[in-house]
Amino acid sequence: MEVILKEDVVKLGHRGDVVKVADGYGRNYLLPGKLAIEATAANKAVIDQMKASAVRKSVKEKGAAEDLAKQISAVELTFERKVGENEQLFGSVTSGDIAQGLEAQGFTVDRRKISLEEPLRSLGEFHVPVKLYREVTAHVKVTIKSDAPDEVAAAPAA
């Protein structure tokens, strides 16, 4: 079955592409979900209009994502966590925590767009990539500190 994609579908194609899919996948998932339309002669005539519209929309979205990337790259997030021996955190800093931190700064970013391979589990500074659009990625500086008062630092000075 040939379909014309109305939206980007992961591992299948981008908006406006004509792709060949299994009958069941097209009939049971793509068509009812309004992600695609059947590739008939009439619909193929409409595809040019859809592609032009998609290009305009893509350029607009990419421009907005680039502006947001510049703003987000200037953001520095600081988290305080309990620390055990060897500076290991009792908890961790996850992509959800980073998304909440960004939201507190006024940026709405879906946590799934934060490319954190595994949660941060140690003290220090990290640069976490945030994928905002296909070719647009911003880097957020994340600092993790101990929430305990600096008793160890005060002891030698006394």
**Domain boundaries along the sequence of the chain:** 2-62, 70-157
User: Is the pTM higher than 0.85?
Assistant: no
Contact 3, 43 (CB under 8 A): no
pLDDT in tens, 42-83: 887 777 777 788 788 888 988 998 999 999 999 999 999 888
Radius of gyration of the chain (CA): 23
pLDDT in tens, 110-150: 888 898 888 888 888 999 999 988 888 999 999 999 887 65
Burial class (CB in 10 A: 0-12, 13-18, 19+), 109: buried
The CATH homologous superfamily to which domain 70-157 belongs is Ribosomal protein L9, C-terminal domain (3.10.430.100)
Contact 77, 109 (CB under 8 A): no
H/E run at residue 129: strand 124-133
Q: How many CA atoms lie within 13 A of 127 on its CB side?
A: 5
The CATH homologous superfamily to which domain 2-62 belongs is Ribosomal protein L9, N-terminal domain (3.40.5.10)
Average pLDDT over residues 17-42: 91
